[in-house]
Amino acid sequence: MSNPWARWLAVHDTALFQMSRKAGWDAFVNAAPRPDFPTLTLAEMADLSPEEAEDYGEARVVWNTNPPTVRTQQLVSAYQVIDEVMASNRRDADKLRGSVVIDAEPYLGKTTIATRYARDFHRRIYRRYGHTTAEGNQRLPVAFVPLNEGITLKGLNQKLLEFYGHPAARRGSRTELTALAIDCVASCDTRLIVIDELHFVDFAGRHGTEVSNHLKGLANELPVTFIYVGVGLRERRFFDEGLHGDQAVLAQTSRRATRCPVVPFSTSTDAGARAWATLLATLEPHYKLARARPGMLTDHADLLHKRTQGRIGSLATLLERACARAITTGTEVLDADVLSSVRIDNAAEHLSQST
């Protein structure tokens, strides 16, 4: 007979949707939050059979690994910039639209910001206009296109067509693919296209110039707002389109795009320290451990900042591993010991040792 945790896992185990396909994106957009389940006391845990203990442990790992998205200051101010750009994009289709560029160092929550914003937008459009376009096609308000290394113009169009599940994604010449991509976007009434991992484009190289011109072309042709997401895009010359010196002022991207930086949490000011403490306090109640206590994270704010350099991605990894360890070792609490001993990402490890 299955136990409550096995039943919970059967429905709410790790979600495997592929967001770069319309079906996966749809699953992401419509995923309901996981329902909470009671955290057992140590005495209750002692009464579990071995299978129950195993399933309860597994359910807790899934739960602990998926904290809710916190409305951090970084997320709120990025939303504000995107909202503003989207507002001016209510211009009729004959006028050019601006784009947003979420440009920051790794692991600061860029993809989270872009996908959560796009998800809210998708839901809003569905609520207002329904699932079908005036022409009777499936409405897809958002397309999500993560790039990969060495992406070419053809590859970009293929990725876009793959999102729409277009059968010609793997065939066709460059021009045909461009025409098809434009057709998909227009017929599904797509309003927002998120292009993630844009740093894979080498803007100073030939492919990069082509991709950059193509993106401008799509923006000219389509009544769509683009959100570009990537690491170090300014340094990679995305804005000046790889042009040098005087030529760089001619780069149109620089005029049309609004850069939205995302910064790590800093504890060097009072306001910064407060924001970090608030983040920890917001996350704290999420974790299911038998000895969890209020303050188990906020009491270690400095330690956690030092280990993660205020990066939300490194913090998320640290906390999920610390919880997994607290469960396996039976300590059932996050304390200085476990928070300082679990290994996290390489960059954070390296930097926390050198400061």
Ligand X SMILES: Nc1ncnc2c1ncn2[C@@H]1O[C@H](COP(=O)(O)OP(=O)(O)OP(=O)(O)O)[C@@H](O)[C@H]1O
Contacts with ligand X, residue ranges (CB under 6 A):
67, 69-70, 72, 75, 106-112, 231, 312-313, 316
Closest approach, Cβ 296 to ligand X, in A, equals 17
Is residue 111 near Mg ion by the rule CB under 5 A?
yes
List beta partners, residue 231. Answer: 104
Closest CA to 251 of 259, 260, 242: 242
78 binds, among Mg ion, ligand X, none (CB under 5 to 8 A by kind): none
To the nearest whole angstrom, how small is the minimum distance from the Cβ of residue 249 to ligand X? 29
- Give the containing element (helix H, strand E) for 195: strand 192-196
Percent of the chain that is helix, strand, coil (3-state, to 5): 55, 10, 35
Return the range that interacts with Mg ion (CB under 5 A); candidates 68-76, 107-115, 138-146, 181-189. Answer: 107-115
74 binds Mg ion (CB under 5 A): no
User: Of these partners, Mg ion, ligand X, none, which one is at the site of residue 9 (CB under 5 to 8 Å by kind)?
Assistant: none
278 alpha carbon, distance to own chain's centre = 21
Residue 64 in the binding site for Mg ion (CB under 5 A): no
Question: Which one, 113 or 188, has the nearer CB to ligand X?
Answer: 113
Looking at the DSSP assignment, which residues form a beta bridge with residue 195?
Answer: 145, 228
Relative to beta strand 192-196, strand 142-146 is parallel
User: What is the distance between the alpha carbons of residues 185 and 188, in angstroms, rounded to a whole number?
Assistant: 6
- Give 184 or 318: the residue with its C-beta nearer to ligand X: 318
Q: How far apart are the two ends of the chain, measured CA to CA in Å?
A: 53
CB neighbours of 174 closer than 8 A, spacing ≥ 6?
153, 154, 157
**Shortest distance (Å) from residue 109 CB to ligand X:** 3
Which is closer to ligand X, CB of 138 or CB of 282?
A: 282
Shortest Å distance, C-beta 288 to ligand X: 17
Site for Mg ion, rule CB under 5 A: 111
